Structures are given as structure tokens and as C-alpha cells.
Amino acid sequence: MIASHFFKREEFACKCGCGFDVVDEELLGVLEDLRLEFDKPVYINSGCRCAVHNKAEGGSKNSQHVFGKAVDIRVEGIEADEVADHLEYTYTNHYGIGRYEGRTHIDVREKKARWDERG
């Protein structure tokens, strides 16, 4: 059980079924704030990844997903660019924010990082 009004631990679990489901408290706070800001459900496309699943997904060796500090999300009825714009505005000098087709990556790494992987 995690302390959240909007999210359940199983939403963050590794998709391979291994049971890895660590959720960073700071990341959970960012997601809670996002849910309140847009007043819409936030769906987690990819949360935790064990090392094996992360490699299969093409994730970097030190991906924040393997530490439970990253998620790829979509917000119901909100374009991914609007979600990323909001995160970049709110966390100007913090975190990792990535833009992808139809989803947004957010992680709570210590240093600022930004990338755009849209086609």
C-alpha cells in the first residue's frame, strides 16, 4: 500500500510480472500534484522496471525506472505536450522530463535533464 489518494502500488509494477514495484515518495508527490492540477486521471504507461525488463525496453543502464524514480504517463484528455510544458514550467531547474509520442516521462533525478524523442 502506498500513501496516495489517486494511485495504487500495482500501477507502478514492472510489466514483466517480476513483482518489482518500488515507488519513490518524491515522484509520487509530483504525480499527485499533476493529478490535482489537471483534475484528470493520470495513467502510468511504464513505472518500475527490473534490469531485465529495462534492457528489453531499450532503457539506459542507469534508467531512473530501475530505481523506482521514473514513470511514463499520460493524462486523460490532455495532450502530452501540455503535460510536459506544465512539468517543465513547474520544475524549471529540476528532474528529468522527456517528450514522446502520446506520453510524457518524468523522473526525480537530482539534476535537470530534458529530451525530445518524438518522431
| Domain-wise residue ranges, the chain | 9-116
Q: What is the grid cell recorded at 23?
A: 515507488
CA-based torsion, 25, 72, 8, 5: positive or negative:
positive
Cβ pair 39, 47 in contact under 8 A: no
CB contact at 8 A, 30 and 94 = no
> What is the CATH architecture assignment of 9-116?
2-Layer Sandwich (3.30)
| pTM score, whole prediction | 0.94
Residue 42 β-bridge partners: 75
pLDDT band, residue 1 (cuts 50/70/90) = low
**Spacing of C-alpha 64 from chain mean position:** 9
Quickly state the pLDDT bin for 2 (edges 50, 70, 90): confident
Q: How many residues does the chain have?
A: 119
Asked if residues 31 and 7 have their Cβ atoms less than 8 Å apart, the reply is yes
pLDDT at 88 over 60: yes
Q: Would you place residue 4 in the very low, low, confident or very high pLDDT band (cuts 50, 70, 90)?
A: confident
- Which phi and psi (to 5°) does residue 75 adopt? -110, 125
pLDDT digits (tens, 9 = 90+) for 25-71: 999 999 999 999 999 999 999 999 999 999 999 989 889 999 999 99
